[in-house]
């Protein structure tokens, strides 16, 4: 078996992250990473007439432009693994309807990016595919409609609330060529310590993030240059730091969170930071992938964190389960 | 993981930023007070310029405020006021109007009957239900204890 | 003077709402429901009438004022029409405002779209 330790899969040298494509909405395009994104769309609706259709177009455009950028034909892609936040993962499925690539739809809430990359890596390593595209998207307006209040409803967001990123990211994994390699994959357990406050997702996901990160570090014993989580925001990030300090194993100086990187927390009024599937996808596809390409870091532990939140069961008194999947990448 | 649900709750409380209650209260006071004062001004205009009886003038001024709030919601302004005003924009009747108009607007794409019309009471429905139910109880009580 | 009292009383009612919301991390819906119901109860005991006398629009514009109108309507109609009045009074008294909100809500939905955030 290719498993090491308790939960980690060791991948041979044959899964290469060939390229990425990121596309974001206007607010993200004003943030600190604006120069790193491949495309910034100035119109929330992207020329469509509803936010759901707009999100779908973000995802289609990300995948199509990724293929175009690399002169790839759709026939060369064996599998598209994608997901999103909406009910019945409509953005991913309807994007796949247009793309006409064999499609596996997955749901991992905001952990979708690393979940799809992990699955893609295993499939390539197992010899079942040569080229896999992993994609995900989220949209502030469609997420807000489904999970919270109407957009035009007045009221204050809590200081611990996060801002869903509008954007989509696509990643091309392949078993040939040059680029950073996926070496280890850890799929996380669901950890739920009873947080039921939908305005504090960071706190709900932090225990799961800690659990997966810790297990990955124990299993692989690698000293990473940079460890990032997906969308814990300021609250979750400080809790994860505390949990590691409790173990006398501080990761503080090499740990960051995509939700706090993507926005200027002071100026952009996003409170605790960014969230959503798109958050870790676009930060990985731009900022982090460039760091690997430019050899600024020699390895990266990329972790997307998901809050498996459902407004229905939360109203029934249930709490919010968290999950995190880790992808260990080396150049 | 050595934390239990109880002990983790303490960690969460320590790390969760508190809302700035003092600042929020001052803003709520200013926004709420201003909306009520506008109501009073409109009421007096109806009384002195249109010779409307006082009880009707109160109704007319709430209709004016509801209309104002509906228009501001339509232009996408009311939610920005709400960001600063907090309860100062939720508690006045304008907040009630906002809670009717905002889902109506939001669910337009799902159609005018199953979208807008079906969801228009999404937030206001509970308010009306409990309000009407309580008023019925009060009416019965007033019959029983004259 | 009316204006100052409207401002102060209206402002204070909103401050109570803000404190409740921040302290208990309440959803706005709970706040609205409890304010309307407390307006009805205070109206029944004649307490809200006193607040209206002091606060003018500062007391009638916030949601407890809506509850107060409901209670007043129900009690007035009940005394003249009995059981039917208890059912219809509150709704009649507040119907103009609710109808305005519904009709304008629909019209606004026809002509406008949610704005970019």
Do C114 and A155 make contact, defined as CB atoms within 8 angstroms? no
Contact criterion met (CB below 8 Å) for A214 and A244: yes
Total number of domains in chain A: 2
Q: What is the pLDDT of residues A59-90, one digit of tens each?
A: 999 999 999 999 999 999 999 999 999 999 99
C117 pLDDT above the threshold of 80: no
Do B1 and A49 make contact, defined as CB atoms within 8 angstroms? no
Please, which chains are in contact with B (at least 3 CB pairs closer than 8 A)? A, C
Which strand (E) or helix (H) includes residue C7?
helix C2-24
What are the residue ranges of helices labelled H in A166-310? 201-220, 233-246, 258-261, 277-283, 289-293
Q: Are residue A188 and residue A160 in the same domain, yes or no? A: no
**Chain C residues near residue A151 by CB distance under 8 angstroms:** 114-115, 117
| CATH number of the domain where residue A231 is located | 3.40.47.40
Please, which chains are in contact with A (at least 3 CB pairs closer than 8 A)? B, C
Q: Are residue A148 and residue A71 in the same domain, yes or no? A: yes
Q: Are residue A230 and residue A106 in the same domain, yes or no? A: no
User: Is residue A155, in this structure, part of any structural domain at all?
Assistant: yes
C113 pLDDT above the threshold of 70: yes
Please, which chains are in contact with C (at least 3 CB pairs closer than 8 A)? A, B
Supply the pLDDT for residue C116.
73
Do C117 and A155 make contact, defined as CB atoms within 8 angstroms? no
Do B2 and A246 make contact, defined as CB atoms within 8 angstroms? yes
Q: What is the pLDDT of residues B4-48, one digit of tens each?
A: 999 999 999 999 998 889 999 999 999 999 999 999 999 999 999
Q: Are residue A166 and residue A191 in the same domain, yes or no? A: no
Q: What is the band of A149 on the pLDDT scale with cuts at 50, 70, 90? A: confident
A-C CB pairs within 8 A amount to: 23
Do A152 and B98 make contact, defined as CB atoms within 8 angstroms? yes
Pick the last residue of a domain from A141, A174, A207. A174
Do B33 and C100 make contact, defined as CB atoms within 8 angstroms? no
Q: What is the band of A151 on the pLDDT scale with cuts at 50, 70, 90? A: confident
Residue of chain B minimizing CA distance to A215: B1
Supply the pLDDT for residue A241.
96
**Chain C residues near residue A199 by CB distance under 8 angstroms:** 25
Distance from CA of A92 to the nearest CA of C (A): 23
Domain of residue A81, residue span:
14-174
Question: Is C105 within 8 Å of chain B by CB?
Answer: yes
Supply the pLDDT for residue A155.
84
Q: Are residue A205 and residue A143 in the same domain, yes or no? A: no
What region does A167 belong to: left with phi over 0, alpha with psi -120 to 50, or beta?
left
User: Is residue A4, in this structure, part of any structural domain at all?
Assistant: no
Pick the last residue of a domain from A119, A143, A174. A174
Rounded-to-integer distance, Cα A331 and Cα C1, Å: 74
**Chain A residues near residue C114 by CB distance under 8 angstroms:** 141, 150-152
Residue of chain A minimizing CA distance to C28: A155
Q: Are residue A208 and residue A310 in the same domain, yes or no? A: yes
Closest CA to C56 of B135, B128, B57, B27: B57
Q: Are residue A39 and residue A159 in the same domain, yes or no? A: yes
Q: What is the pLDDT of residues C64-90, one digit of tens each?
A: 999 999 999 999 999 999 999 999 999
Rounded-to-integer distance, Cα A101 and Cα A97, Å: 8
Taking every pair of Cα atoms in chain C, the longest distance, rounded to a whole number of angstroms, is 52
Question: Is C25 within 8 Å of chain A by CB?
Answer: yes
Q: Are residue A227 and residue A264 in the same domain, yes or no? A: yes
* B118, burial (CB in 10 Å: exposed 0-12, middle 13-18, buried 19+): middle
Domain boundaries along the sequence of chain C: 2-111
Q: Are residue A193 and residue A74 in the same domain, yes or no? A: no
Do A159 and B4 make contact, defined as CB atoms within 8 angstroms? no
Supply the pLDDT for residue C83.
94
Return the residue in B138, B141, B144 with the most chain C beta carbons within 10 A, the one to mutate for interface testing.
Answer: B138
Q: Across chain A, what does the average pLDDT equal? A: 95
Q: Are residue A156 and residue A18 in the same domain, yes or no? A: yes
Rounded-to-integer distance, Cα A48 and Cα A59, Å: 13
Among A1-5, A52-56, C46-50, which is the least confidently predicted range? A1-5
């Amino acid at each position: 078996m290719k498993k090491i330790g308790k939960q980690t899969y060791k991948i041979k040298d044959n899964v290469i992250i060939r390229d990425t494509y990121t596309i974001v909405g206007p607010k993200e395009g004003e943030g600190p990473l604006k120069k790193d994104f491949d495309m910034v769309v100035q119109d929330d609706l992207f020329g469509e007439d509803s936010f759901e259709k707009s999100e779908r177009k973000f995802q289609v455009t990300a995948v199509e432009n990724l293929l175009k950028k690399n002169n790839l034909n759709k026939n060369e892609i064996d599998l598209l693994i994608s997901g999103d936040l909406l009910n019945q993962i409509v953005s991913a499925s309807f994007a796949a309807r247009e793309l006409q690539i064999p499609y596996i739809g997955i749901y991992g809430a905001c952990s979708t990016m690393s979940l799809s990359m992990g699955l893609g890596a295993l499939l390539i390593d197992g010899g079942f595919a040569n080229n896999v595209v992993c994609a995900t998207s989220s949209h502030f307006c469609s997420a807000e409609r489904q999970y919270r209040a109407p957009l035009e409803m007045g009221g204050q967001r809590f200081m611990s609330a996060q801002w869903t990123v509008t954007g989509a990211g696509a990643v091309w994994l392949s078993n040939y060529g040059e680029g950073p390699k996926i070496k280890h994959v850890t799929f996380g357990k669901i950890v739920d310590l009873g947080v039921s406050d939908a305005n504090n997702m960071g706190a709900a996901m932090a225990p799961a993030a800690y659990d997966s990160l810790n297990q990955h570090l124990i299993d692989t014993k690698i000293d990473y240059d940079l460890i990032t989580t997906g969308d814990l925001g300021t609250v979750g990030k400080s809790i994860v730091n505390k949990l590691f300090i409790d173990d006398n194993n501080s990761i503080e100086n090499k740990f960051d969170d995509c939700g706090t990187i993507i926005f200027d927390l002071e100026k952009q009024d996003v409170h605790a930071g960014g969230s959503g599937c798109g958050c870790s996808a676009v930060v990985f596809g731009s900022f982090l992938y460039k760091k690997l390409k430019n050899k600024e870091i020699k390895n990266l532990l990329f972790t997307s964190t998901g809050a498996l939140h459902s407004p229905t069961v939360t109203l029934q008194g249930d709490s919010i389960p968290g999950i995190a999947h880790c992808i260990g990448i080396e150049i | 993981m050595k934390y239990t649900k109880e002990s983790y709750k303490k960690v969460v409380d320590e790390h969760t930023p508190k809302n700035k209650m003092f600042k929020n209260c001052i803003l709520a006071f200013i926004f709420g007070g201003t909306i009520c004062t506008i109501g009073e001004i409109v009421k007096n205009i109806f009384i002195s310029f249109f010779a409307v009886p006082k009880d009707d003038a109160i109704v007319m001024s709430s209709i004016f405020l509801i209309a104002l709030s509906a228009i501001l919601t339509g232009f996408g302004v009311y939610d920005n006021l709400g960001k600063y005003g907090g309860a100062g924009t939720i508690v006045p009747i304008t907040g009630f109007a906002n809670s009717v108009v905002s889902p109506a607007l939001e669910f337009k794409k799902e159609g005018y009957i199953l979208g807008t019309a079906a969801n228009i009471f999404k937030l206001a429905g509970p308010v009306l239900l409990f309000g009407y139910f309580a008023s019925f109880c009060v009416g019965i009580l007033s019959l029983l204890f004259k | 003077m009316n204006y100052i009292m409207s401002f102060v009383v209206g402002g204070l009612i909103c401050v109570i709402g803000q404190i409740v919301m921040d302290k208990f991390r309440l959803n706005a819906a709970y706040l609205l429901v409890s304010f309307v119901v407390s307006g009805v109860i205070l109206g029944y005991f004649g307490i809200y009438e006193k607040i209206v006398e002091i606060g003018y629009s500062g007391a009638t514009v916030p949601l407890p004022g809506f509850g107060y109108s409901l209670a007043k309507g129900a009690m007035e109609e009940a005394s003249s029409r009995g059981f039917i009045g208890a059912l219809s009074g509150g709704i009649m008294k507040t119907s103009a405002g609710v109808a305005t909100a519904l009709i304008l809500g629909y019209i606004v939905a026809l002509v406008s779209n949610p704005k970019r955030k």
